[in-house]
Amino acid sequence: MPHVISQKHQRAWRSFLTSQSLTTNMLDSRLRKAGQISLDIYEVLSTLEDAEGHRLRMSDLAETILFSRSGLTRMIDRLEEVGYVVREPSPDDRRGWFAVVTPEGIKARHTACEIVQQGLAEVWVEALSEEDADKISALLEQVCGRAKNAAK
């Protein structure tokens, strides 16, 4: 058995996977119990809300939230049905569409935000100092860069 990576790195990877699942499951189940949007939808709406003009091209949105394109198509279908998002054609490129958050979408995200932030505060903020958070961000952004390259 080749030990390319150290025990310490193995352990870090494991705690990373586990803490991620536990945290997102917790957030998701609280949202569900409160009858609110799922965490996935929360991500979509937040991303759109942060974007210039509250809109993003389908492919850019998919890339940002790391969704498959077909997955995003159908996610946006569902969000359009409930009125949280609308599609608008791109003026530049007639193949392209923007997904745009509506005011209802913003409101729904905003309501859910309380639960999400509360949950993160309990689990994350208590465990990590500001400096820890800062350091981890820097490290993990490195990891992101490497992972993107490694993906070819």
Partner DNA sequence: GCAAACTATTTCCAAATACAACTAATTTAC
Partner DNA sequence: GTAAATTAGTTGTATTTGGAAATAGTTTGC
Contact residues: DNA, CB under 7 A:
29, 32, 38, 40, 57-60, 67-78, 87, 90, 93-98
For its own copies, the closer of residues 100 and 120 by Cβ is: 120
| Min separation Cβ 118 and its own copies, Å | 6
Which of its own copies, DNA, none does 111 bind, CB closer than 5 to 8 A by kind?
Answer: none
Which of DNA, its own copies, none does 94 bind, CB closer than 5 to 8 A by kind?
Answer: DNA
For its own copies, the closer of residues 34 and 147 by Cβ is: 147
Which of its own copies, DNA, none does 58 bind, CB closer than 5 to 8 A by kind?
Answer: DNA
| C-alpha 142, offset from chain centre | 18
DSSP string, 132-152: HHHHHHHHHHHHHHHHHHHT-
Neighbouring C-beta atoms of residue 142, cutoff 10 Å? 10
